[in-house]
Amino acid sequence: MAKKILVVDDEATARQVLEAMLGSSGYDVRTASGAEEALDILAREDINVIFLDLKLFGVSGIELCRKIREMKPLAIIHAVTGWAALYEIEECREAGFDDFFTKPVNLELLLKATGDAFEKLERWRKRYEIKTVISG
């Protein structure tokens, strides 16, 4: 099973850095520069680990997170921002974010969070398969 990630950031350099770092670690990375593109990708592909900039042009990252949560309730969504002073962690948690990273991002920490996210999704998938077998 491919370990797909979506990186959403309106800064091309930020997208490229995360795509290169995550891609070189074996992940299949998709990128989007805004909300509409991100939602389109998520509608077409099975992606459940997402890194989402909070300060996007147009739709805010907070609002985009809420929309993604409706589409993909089990997705692991990480907030990434260079504007930490503008966003409260409580607001991010309420919107549906699972974690919060500030730019410049500690790449080691981000890689660990990515690995942890896929481990969690795998546990959930196994639990679902067991439940389906028992109730089926």
**pLDDT for 128:** 65
Q: What DSSP line would sit under 27-89, residue for residue?
A: -EEEEESSHHHHHHHHHHS---EEEEESS-SSS-HHHHHHHHHHH-TT-EEEEEES-GGG--H
Provide CATH code, domain 4-135: 3.40.50.2300
**pLDDT for 11:** 93
- Is 84 within 8 Å of 54 (Cβ atoms)? no
Question: What is the mean pLDDT for each group of 10 consecutive residues in the chain (136 residues)?
Answer: 91 95 96 97 97 91 95 94 69 90 89 96 79 54
**pLDDT for 135:** 55
- How far apart are the C-alpha atoms of 44 and 36, rounded to whole Å? 13
**pLDDT for 65:** 97
Instruction: Collapse the DSSP code of 18 into the 3-class scheme (helix H, G, I; strand E, B; otherwise coil) and give the result.
Output: helix
**pLDDT for 105:** 85
**pLDDT for 83:** 64
Question: Burial level of 108, CB count in 10 A (0-12/13-18/19+)?
Answer: exposed
